[in-house]
């Protein structure tokens, strides 16, 4: 036997209370968070739904496109959501509604309208998107600076290339920090090529409003120009394609320098790279952190440290206090930069060995350290850590 | 009168555990699909809580990076393959034969096989946690990370994942064969294709998608398995293979898969809205064509997941992706105009149906941003995408599933669910859901990437992440009234009778629950609302 | 219609019984089911073929150079694969003859034709296995770069489908010998033959692509 739909007062009451609670909480939140400044609050709300200000010319085009998409989205949202809310409130069944409402099956004109109009809207969105895409993807005939970013598990390194793009002038092994990161000239076109020796990564700088995958077996290239006015700023970047356990620590910095400053910086780095003679590889890879008997010069012991698969193979090291000592560091990760850096209990860096690519062994001369407990780490991969006890 | 008066009455059909385990009755199989899916919903939900607890504050609190990768990989795997897809298949299994006036599915024994492959696959996935680590390369499992290589997917966890997914895919494909044969061959006399309920249409189109797309991911998984275990080179660039090949083959299935996950939910909404508006569905034929259009277009957009690879013909995929918004919009308007000038009764099924409309709308809108390639360059692989997928999958599929559960529970069990508990659950879930996922739009725009166990405390993402975690726990909390509701309703819910909702379709023309062969006799079928016609005869405006 | 529990339990008297042989006409449920299943199998092979075409298009040379011999990989049509192809095509004919036989109730002819088809299927598999051994001796294995990987994956899964088809034919043969088929009731034969034709068509495509298509 058919029964009438339930219009129990208790359930309607609960429903009304629930919706009322939501609205009250929402209103209270807005008032509280705005701190009495609703206009500023609205600005902040809009900002929260916008990507950051772009620092590249291409990024600025993307942000303009975003505005168009956003405005259309907001209008559609309010119109359709409003329609839903209006319908739901206005056409509730009231006591006394016993006869059926008009059994309208459809309306062909309505169907045509709400097929054609959305088609026009999306066609428009497609066209403006395509135009912006062409601008963003454009590569100039003679980019002024060529850099190759190599993404590996789990670090970024940057090769500065000459005009042909075939020769490496200088390689930056440290991805972040003042001494590291990718320095670029603001106001000049930079052609960035992306390579990976292992798994898929992605080059992502939120302030560029841009990312591009780094795919093994493929070289992706794109061009960007940092706004001249943004010279002197640093932008943070991060790998945006899951690449393993170290995915979240694959950070990098982009330093925008004024063109003249960039030129002198690069020239200095090139000169440094050419001047330093390559160190002779050490002959004895060790397996433990035990101090070996001291060698020729009467200095302290030589600690054996090695790195494999983005981890130190030793977790505990020991060294004598107040005596300079050596660290023989074997980097077993092919083409991956590592070093050994020592930090004291307060986190200050007391020694930073040279960063170099594996597979290679180099010996560091560590100055005398007072007794205490230190951490040794890799500057490129801060999650590689161990304890150094000096006594 | 269209109801049956079967003797002996329903209580004597109560059956033993043995009956349930060996049954080929689509109704019991459908219910077991639903139960199994709910179990994995809760398991996937627990994993989600693990993610949210870790991300609530900066710093690694409860897991390592590698374990975190396992947690979100398995969260998505359980939710997609063992919750949403089989849950909708389960509802389809229960409802479709009833709605077309058939006594069962075309191949009842294969139906049972499809069901039992699922708990088996689920067990393999659970076991994989204990074999040295489950799969941890994301549910997308891109190569080369998913290969057996240093710092990659070393160990049997990934292989177990591949085997489990192959099993689930086979279960789906067999189910699709069953649905299509049933719908084409076993409709009751008078039920032409254009008199089928929209639920049946959506299951039909979904089954075509499953039939044509799922085998392609099977091939991708097999190729990955061969690369991992037999020295294959499909995706190894060092030996002539291509990681992008994996993505193309994978997404060729996984994009249609999202329509597999939403269309039957849309079908359920399309049954519920007319009943609770006391009007027919507005634009029945438009719905049919829109559903078919989504199905067809759904095969042409897969590479929009690959816009940032540099290996895709961007304009084509962007255009097709934009176009697929059109049939979706047609449906949205037709649903709204079903309610327009109706007489709405706010029982829980309608609450969830309206919740579906309003939340799926947001999911569709934020998806349009990704269709614009340059904008996608900014938001791909960030929390914006996490917001999008959850607005369509939770705001869409889950709300649709909840609507369907409250609507068909009386038919399946003969008992009404408790309305008060249902409304409490709805309010908690609605608030929790929006609190969890709306902030993710901002997080994505601000630059927070996906799939990271931790973030910098100076990035400015702390508050939004904390809010999302609070929301996540609200969602979890909202499961309590649901479970309590199911428990007390099964024991002492109001007897439902054949047709508690004054509904339109054939499943309400038999007892609750229906007898083994579903119908003693059927009403005449002259439209898509045979029960409505039988009830109102010549009175209604037809 | 009687609503007696006992009557409902037997196929003949239940509403479902009359549907088992689909008196409404058109193809039967089992045949429709098999056609749908074959569609899914076509898509499975489509994925593998797509991989093959992709790998082939990206290679600078095809077939690539075999590192063991220093020369390009070469797949020999004789002595095994060519004859195996011929007999497999023949087996589609014998399979269809079996279907025609049972449709006109010639049960003896049907059993003979199915037995021949089944035997050819088994022989094909044996010849394929022997060919695999010969190839392995030349260094062509699953791990021989993209060439070996695609070749063995494609032919291997085809072989697996031949194996499945042979089991199907074996079951049909057994049931036929037990007298379970007649002109009126032989859905399983129709379904199995459709599958067998599918397996043959896939092989013709594979053979053409892997052995006949010119390299680059």
Nearest Cα residue to B151 out of A354, A304, A249, A339: A249
Residue A356: band (very low, low, confident or very high) from pLDDT cuts 50, 70, 90: very high
Residue A347 is predicted with a pLDDT of 87
Contact yes or no for C38/B177 (Cβ under 8 A):
no
The domain tally of chain C equals 1
Residue B57 is predicted with a pLDDT of 96
CATH code of the domain occupying B24-536 = 1.20.210.10
The token pair at B256 is 């249609």
The answer as to whether C20 is a domain residue is no
Residue B8 is predicted with a pLDDT of 46
Residue A287 is predicted with a pLDDT of 40
Nearest CA in chain B to C67: B239
Residue C25 is predicted with a pLDDT of 66
Residue A1 has pLDDT above 70, yes or no: no
Nearest Cα residue to C66 out of C146, C151, C144, C157: C144
The answer as to whether C202 is a domain residue is yes
Distance from CA of B203 to the nearest CA of C (A): 15
The percent of residues above 90 in pLDDT, for chain B, comes to 92
Residue A284: band (very low, low, confident or very high) from pLDDT cuts 50, 70, 90: very low
Q: CA angle at residue C100 from C94 to C101, to 5 degrees?
A: 85
The domain tally of chain A equals 3
List the subunits that have 3+ CB pairs under 8 angstroms with B: A, C
Cα B222 to Cα A164, B175, B514, C142: the distances in Å are: 42, 21, 42, 13
Sort out which chain B residues have CB atoms less than 8 A from C146's CB and list them: 233-234, 239-241
Best B26, B204, B239 member to test C by mutation, with max C CBs in 10 Å, is B239
Q: Please give the interface size between B and C, counted as residue pairs whose CB atoms are below 8 Å apart.
A: 134
ipTM of the complex: 0.93
Residue C11 has pLDDT above 70, yes or no: no
Residue C9 is predicted with a pLDDT of 39
Of A225, A258, A275, the last residue of a domain is: A275
Instruction: Return the CATH number at A320.
Output: 2.60.40.420
The answer as to whether A82 is a domain residue is yes
Distance from CA of A263 to the nearest CA of B (A): 30
Closest partner CB to B336 (pick from A18, A52, A87)? A87
Residue B453 is predicted with a pLDDT of 96
Residue B15 is predicted with a pLDDT of 78
Sort out which chain B residues have CB atoms less than 8 A from A118's CB and list them: 325-326, 329-330
More confident: B541 or B330: B330
The answer as to whether C1 is a domain residue is no
Residue A115: band (very low, low, confident or very high) from pLDDT cuts 50, 70, 90: very high
Contact yes or no for B276/B351 (Cβ under 8 A):
no
Q: Give the burial string for B250-272 (b: 16+ CB within 10 Å, else e).
A: bbbbbbbbbbbbbbbbbbbbbbb
Q: Do B230 and C142 touch (CB under 8 A)?
A: yes
Alpha-carbon distance of B69 to B49, in angstroms, equals: 14
More confident: A305 or A12: A305
Residue B381: band (very low, low, confident or very high) from pLDDT cuts 50, 70, 90: very high
Residue C118: band (very low, low, confident or very high) from pLDDT cuts 50, 70, 90: very high
Strand, coil or helix: what is A358?
Answer: strand
The token pair at A47 is 């900002």
Residue A135 has pLDDT above 70, yes or no: yes
List the subunits that have 3+ CB pairs under 8 angstroms with C: B
Residue A278 is predicted with a pLDDT of 58
Residue B93 has pLDDT above 90, yes or no: yes
Average pLDDT over residues A130-134: 97
- For residue A174, whether the previous peptide bond is cis, meaning omega lies within 30 degrees of 0, is no
The answer as to whether A74 is a domain residue is yes
Nearest CA in chain A to B350: A88
Distance from CA of C109 to the nearest CA of B (A): 30
Contact yes or no for A146/A165 (Cβ under 8 A):
yes
Residue B111: band (very low, low, confident or very high) from pLDDT cuts 50, 70, 90: very high
Residue C26: band (very low, low, confident or very high) from pLDDT cuts 50, 70, 90: confident
Establish how many alpha carbons lie within 13 A of residue A342's alpha carbon, considering only the half-sphere containing its beta carbon. 26
A271 in the same domain as A161: yes
Q: Do A210 and B377 touch (CB under 8 A)?
A: yes
Distance from CA of C25 to the nearest CA of B (A): 10
Residue B1 is predicted with a pLDDT of 42
Establish how many alpha carbons lie within 13 A of residue B220's alpha carbon, considering only the half-sphere containing its beta carbon. 26
Residue A260 is predicted with a pLDDT of 96
Neighbours of A156 (CB within 10 A): 29
Sort out which chain B residues have CB atoms less than 8 A from C38's CB and list them: none
Alpha-carbon distance of B27 to B19, in angstroms, equals: 12
* Host domain of residue C151: 28-212
A359 has a chain B CB within 8 A of its CB: no
Residue A282 is predicted with a pLDDT of 46
More confident: B523 or B482: B482
* Nearby residues of B246 by Cβ (< 8 Å), 6 or more positions away: B142, B143, B220, B223, B224, B234, B235
DSSP codes of every residue in chain C: ----HHHHHSTTTSTTGGGTTTTT-SS-HHHHHHHHHHHHHHHHHHHHHHHHHHHHHHSSSSS-B-TTTSSB-----TTTHHHHHHHHHHHHHHHHHHHHHHHTT-HHHHHHHHHHHHHHHHHHHHHHHHHHHHHHHTT-STTSHHHHHHHHHHHHHHHHHHHHHHHHHHHHHHHHHTT---SSS-HHHHHHHHHHHHHHHHHHHHHIIIIIS---
Residue A281 is predicted with a pLDDT of 47
Residue C139 is predicted with a pLDDT of 86
- For residue A154, whether the previous peptide bond is cis, meaning omega lies within 30 degrees of 0, is yes
Residue A41 has pLDDT above 80, yes or no: no
Residue A273 has pLDDT above 70, yes or no: yes
Nearest CA in chain A to B497: A1
Nearest CA in chain B to A113: B330
Residue B529: band (very low, low, confident or very high) from pLDDT cuts 50, 70, 90: very high
Strand, coil or helix: what is B178?
Answer: helix
Residue B380 is predicted with a pLDDT of 98
B66 has a chain A CB within 8 A of its CB: yes
A317 in the same domain as A252: no
The percent of residues above 70 in pLDDT, for chain A, comes to 87
Q: Do C43 and B176 touch (CB under 8 A)?
A: no
Sort out which chain B residues have CB atoms less than 8 A from C26's CB and list them: 185
Q: Do C43 and B215 touch (CB under 8 A)?
A: yes
Residue A97 is predicted with a pLDDT of 84
Indicate the range of A160-174, B455-469, B505-519, C11-25 predicted with least confidence.
C11-25
> Mean pLDDT across chain B, nearest whole number?
95
Instruction: Return the CATH number at C81.
Output: 1.20.120.80
Average pLDDT over residues B5-11: 49
Residue A283 is predicted with a pLDDT of 40
Sort out which chain C residues have CB atoms less than 8 A from B249's CB and list them: 47, 50-51
The percent of residues above 90 in pLDDT, for chain A, comes to 74
The alpha carbon of A18 is separated from its chain's Cα centroid by a whole number of angstroms, namely 40
Q: Which of residues 162-221 of A touch B (CB under 8 A)?
A: 198-200, 202, 204, 206-207, 209-213, 215-218, 220-221
Residue A294: band (very low, low, confident or very high) from pLDDT cuts 50, 70, 90: very low
B369 has a chain A CB within 8 A of its CB: yes
How confident is the model over B468-522, as pLDDT tens digits? 999 999 999 999 999 999 999 999 999 999 999 999 999 999 999 999 889 988 8
Distance from CA of A70 to the nearest CA of B (A): 8
The answer as to whether A280 is a domain residue is no
How confident is the model over B387-424, as pLDDT tens digits? 999 999 999 999 999 999 999 999 999 999 999 999 99
* Host domain of residue A72: 32-91+109-138
Residue A33 is predicted with a pLDDT of 66
Residue A21 is predicted with a pLDDT of 72
**DSSP bridge partners of A360:** A331
Nearest CA in chain B to A15: B423
Residue A277 is predicted with a pLDDT of 63
Name the pairing type of β-strands A210-214 and A201-205. Answer: antiparallel
Q: Give the burial string for C125-155 (b: 16+ CB within 10 Å, else e).
A: bebbeebbeebeeeebbbbbbbbbbbbbbbb
Average pLDDT over residues B320-342: 97
């Amino acid at each position: 036997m058919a029964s009438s739909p339930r219009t129990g007062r208790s359930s309607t009451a609960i429903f009304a209370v629930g919706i009322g609670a939501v609205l009250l909480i929402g209103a209270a939140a807005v008032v509280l968070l705005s701190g009495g400044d609703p206009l500023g609050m609205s600005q902040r709300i809009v900002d929260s739904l916008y990507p950051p200000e772009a620092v590249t010319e291409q990024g600025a085009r993307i942000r303009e496109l975003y505005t168009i998409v956003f405005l259309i989205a907001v209008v559609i949202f309010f119109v359709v959501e409003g329609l839903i809310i209006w319908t739901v409130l206005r056409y509730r069944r009231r006591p006394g509604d016993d006869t059926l409402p008009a059994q309208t099956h459809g309306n062909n004109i309505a169907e045509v309208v709400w097929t054609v109009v959305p088609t026009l809207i999306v066609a428009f969105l497609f066209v403006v998107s395509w135009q912006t895409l062409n601008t963003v993807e454009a590569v100039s005939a003679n980019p002024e600076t060529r850099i190759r970013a190599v993404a590996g598990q789990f670090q970024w390194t940057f090769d500065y290339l000459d005009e042909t793009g075939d020769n490496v002038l200088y390689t930056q092994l440290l991805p972040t920090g003042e001494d590291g990161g990718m320095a670029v000239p603001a106001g000049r076109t930079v052609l960035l090529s992306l390579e990976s020796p292992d798994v898929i990564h992605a080059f992502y700088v939120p302030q560029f409003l841009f990312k591009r995958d780094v795919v093994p077996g493929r070289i992706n290239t794109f061009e960007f120009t940092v706004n001249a006015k943004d010279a002197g700023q640093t932008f943070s970047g991060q790998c945006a394609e899951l690449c393993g356990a170290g995915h979240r620590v694959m950070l990098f910095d982009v330093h925008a320098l004024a063109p003249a400053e960039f030129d002198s910086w690069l020239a200095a780095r090139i000169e440094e790279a050419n001047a330093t003679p390559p160190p002779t590889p050490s002959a004895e890879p060790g397996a433990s952190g035990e101090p070996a008997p001291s060698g020729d010069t009467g200095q302290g012991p030589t600690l054996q440290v090695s790195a494999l698969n983005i981890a130190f193979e030793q977790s505990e090291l020991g060294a004598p206090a107040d005596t300079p000592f050596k660290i023989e560091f074997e980097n077993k990760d092919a083409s991956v930069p590592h070093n050994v850096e020592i930090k004291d209990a307060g986190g200050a860096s007391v020694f930073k060995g040279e960063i170099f690519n594996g597979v290679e062994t180099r010996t560091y001369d560590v100055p005398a350290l007072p007794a205490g407990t230190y951490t040794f780490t890799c500057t490129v991969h801060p999650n590689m850590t161990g304890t150094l006890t000096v006594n | 009168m269209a109801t049956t008066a079967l003797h002996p009455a329903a209580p004597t059909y109560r059956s033993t555990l043995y009956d349930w385990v060996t049954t080929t009755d689509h109704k019991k199989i459908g219910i077991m699909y639903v139960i199994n899916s709910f179990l994995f919903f809760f398991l996937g939900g627990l994993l989600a809580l693990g993610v949210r607890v870790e991300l609530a504050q900066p710093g690694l609190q409860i897991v390592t990076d590698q374990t975190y990768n396992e947690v979100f990989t398995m969260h998505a795997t359980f939710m997609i393959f063992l919750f949403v897809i089989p849950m909708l298949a389960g509802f389809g299994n229960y409802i479709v034969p009833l709605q077309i006036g058939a006594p069962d599915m075309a191949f009842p024994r294969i139906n049972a096989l499809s069901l039992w492959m699922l708990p088996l696959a689920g067990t393999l996935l659970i076991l994989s946690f204990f074999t040295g680590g489950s799969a941890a390369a994301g549910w997308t499992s891109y190569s080369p990370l998913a290969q057996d290589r240093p710092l990659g997917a070393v160990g049997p966890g990934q292989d177990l994942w591949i085997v489990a997914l192959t099993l689930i895919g086979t279960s789906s494909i067999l189910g699709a064969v069953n649905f299509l044969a049933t719908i084409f061959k076993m409709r009751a006399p008078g039920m032409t294709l254009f008199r089928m309920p929209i639920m049946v249409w959506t299951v039909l189109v979904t089954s075509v998608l499953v039939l044509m797309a799922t085998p392609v991911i099977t091939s991708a998984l097999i190729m990955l398995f061969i690369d991992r275990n037999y020295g294959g080179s499909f995706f190894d660039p060092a030996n002539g293979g291509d990681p992008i090949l994996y993505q193309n083959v994978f997404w060729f299935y996984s994009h249609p898969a999202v329509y597999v996950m939403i269309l039957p939910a849309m079908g359920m909404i399309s049954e519920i809205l007319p009943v609770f508006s006391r009007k027919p569905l507005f634009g029945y034929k438009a719905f049919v064509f829109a559903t078919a259009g989504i199905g067809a277009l759904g095969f042409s957009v897969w590479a929009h997941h690959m816009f940032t690879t540099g290996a895709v013909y961007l304009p084509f995929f962007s255009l097709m992706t934009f176009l697929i918004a059109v049939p979706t919009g047609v449906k949205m308007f037709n649903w709204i105009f079903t309610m327009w000038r109706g007489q709405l009764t706010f029982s829980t099924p309608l609450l969830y149906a309206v919740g579906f409309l309003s939340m799926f709308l947001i999911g569709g809108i934020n998806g349009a941003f990704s269709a614009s390639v340059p904008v996608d360059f900014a938001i791909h692989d960030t929390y914006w995408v996490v917001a999008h997928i959850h607005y369509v999958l939770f705001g869409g599929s889950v709300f649709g599933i909840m609507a369907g559960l409250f609507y068909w529970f009386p038919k399946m069990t003969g008992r009404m669910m408790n309305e008060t508990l249902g409304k409490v659950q709805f309010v908690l879930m609605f608030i929790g859901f929006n609190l969890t996922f709306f902030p993710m739009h901002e997080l994505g725009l601000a630059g927070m990437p996906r799939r990271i166990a931790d973030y910098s405390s100076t990035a400015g993402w702390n508050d939004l992440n904390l809010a999302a975690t609070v929301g996540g726990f609200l969602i979890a909390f909202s499961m309590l009234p649901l479970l309590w509701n199911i428990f007390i309703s099964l024991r002492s819910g109001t007897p439902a009778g054949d047709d508690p909702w004054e509904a339109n379709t054939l499943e309400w023309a038999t007892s609750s629950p229906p007898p083994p062969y579903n119908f003693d006799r059927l009403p005449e079928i002259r439209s898509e609302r045979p029960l409505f016609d039988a009830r109102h005869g010549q009175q209604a405006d037809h | 219609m009687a609503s007696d529990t006992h009557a409902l339990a037997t196929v003949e008297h239940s509403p479902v019984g009359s549907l088992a042989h689909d008196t409404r006409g058109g193809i039967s449920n089992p045949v429709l089911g098999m056609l749908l299943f074959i569609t899914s199998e076509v898509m499975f092979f489509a994925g593998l073929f797509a991989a093959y075409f992709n790998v082939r298009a990206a290679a600078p040379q095809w077939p690539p150079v075999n590192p063991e011999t220093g020369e390009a990989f070469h797949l020999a049509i004789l002595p095994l694969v060519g004859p195996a192809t011929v007999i497999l095509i023949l087996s589609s004919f014998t399979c269809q003859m079996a279907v025609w036989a049972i449709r006109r109730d010639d049960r003896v002819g049907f059993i003979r034709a199915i037995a021949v088809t089944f035997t050819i299927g088994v022989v094909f598999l044996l010849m394929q296995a022997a060919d695999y051994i010969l190839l392995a001796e030349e260094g062509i294995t699953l791990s021989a770069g993209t060439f070996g990987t695609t070749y063995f994956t494609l032919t291997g899964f085809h072989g697996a489908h031949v194996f499945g088809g042979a089991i199907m034919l074996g079951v049909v043969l057994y049931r036929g010998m037990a007298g379970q088929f007649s002109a009126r009731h032989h859905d399983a034969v129709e379904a199995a033959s459709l599958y067998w034709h599918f397996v043959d068509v896939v092989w013709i495509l594979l053979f053409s692509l892997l052995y006949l298509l010119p390299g680059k």
